[in-house]
Amino acid sequence: MVQIAPSILSADFSRLAEEIQAVAEAGADLLHVDVMDGHFVPNLTFGPPVIKAIRKVTDLPFDVHLMISNPDNYLEDYAEAGADYIGVHAEVCPHLNRTLTRIAELGKKPVVVLNPHTPLCAIENVLDQVSMVLIMSVNPGFGGQKFIPGSVEKVAELHAMISRRGLTLPIQVDGGVQADTIGPVAAAGARVFVSGSGVFGHAQGYRAAMEEMRERAREYVRQGG
């Protein structure tokens, strides 16, 4: 019911393969892969060659989060590199319906992503086209930022919007998610949690980090917030 997607942005890049195997063994459900272009977001990470290389290391589904300005130009490259989910930001897709259709045609799971300031109405008409919706709970670009509290209400509204349309669609949250922030957003309806520094920076190790988050999320969901 609760899925954790460690973000390799916070991994030790000099030991990337080992780090990925370690989170897989520690119980990760998905691997969150942050692609940044230094244009849409003020930071740069990596592209298809690195994804292709790490694809050999694990069977975990790759949840590729494209924080790039012209995703349409690169969808094939990320599909070929081994993405399972391909997430695009609504803010950079003037023809969002077309972009999501293309991802599905490539045999991948389309994900639509919203920055903290972008209203939900931007994606209302594409909800039936996606496998997951990602609500950013920080301004994208960096790991280790603070969770924006307003994200909780946004997730609750999205959850209601999805139910009104009779859809069953997981809501994912990304940014500042760890044991002390996961509860309210889980109670609001999020089920897939990206965590970078919360997993890779946890003092008791990766397994403890993910178990603690899952436990906290379940507690809040049980109590209904």
Helix (H, G, I), strand (E, B) or coil at 21: helix
From the list Zn ion, ligand DX5, none, which binds 99 (C-beta under 5 to 8 Å, kind-based)?
none
DSSP label at residue 7: B
Task: For residue 84, indicate whether it is catalytic.
Answer: no
Q: Is 37 in the site for Zn ion (CB under 5 A)?
A: no
Binding mask 167-206 for ligand DX5 (x = CB under 6 A): -------xxxx----------------xxxxx--------
- Residue 174 CB, shortest distance to Zn ion, in Å, is 4
Backbone angles phi, psi at 44, to 5 degrees: -125, 140
Q: Is 34 in the site for Zn ion (CB under 5 A)?
A: yes
Helix (H, G, I), strand (E, B) or coil at 60: coil
Binding mask 19-38 for ligand DX5 (x = CB under 6 A): -------------x-x----
Maximum Cα–Cα distance across the chain: 46
Instruction: Give the burial class of 35: count Cβ atoms within 10 A of its Cβ; 0-12 exposed, 13-18 middle, 19 or more buried.
Output: buried
Task: For residue 174, indicate whether it is catalytic.
Answer: yes
Residues of this chain, 142-161, that bind ligand DX5 according to CB under 6 A? 142-145
User: Judged by CB, which is closer to Zn ion: 84, or 223?
Assistant: 84
Binding span for Zn ion by CB under 5 A among 26-34, 165-173, 179-187, 210-218: 26-34
Residues of this chain, 171-200, that bind Zn ion according to CB under 5 A? 174
Residue located via tokens 């990760």: 28
Residue located via tokens 């992503």: 113
* Separation between Cα atoms, residue 171 and residue 157, nearest integer Å: 11
According to DSSP, the residues that pair with 85 across neighbouring strands are 63, 109
Q: Is 116 in the site for ligand DX5 (CB under 6 A)?
A: no
- Residue 43 CB, shortest distance to ligand DX5, in Å, is 8
State which H helix or E strand residue 33 sits in: strand 31-36
Tally the C-alpha atoms within 13 A of residue 155's C-alpha that lie toward its C-beta. Answer: 28
User: Judged by CB, which is closer to Zn ion: 125, or 200?
Assistant: 200
**Measuring CA to CA, which residue among 61, 42, 80 is closest to residue 3?**
61
The residue annotated as part of the active site, out of 34, 37, 63, 84, is: 34
Residues found near Zn ion in the complex (CB under 5 A): 34, 65, 174
Q: Which residues are catalytic?
A: 34, 174
Residues found near ligand DX5 in the complex (CB under 6 A): 7, 9-10, 32, 34, 65, 138, 140-145, 174-177, 194-198
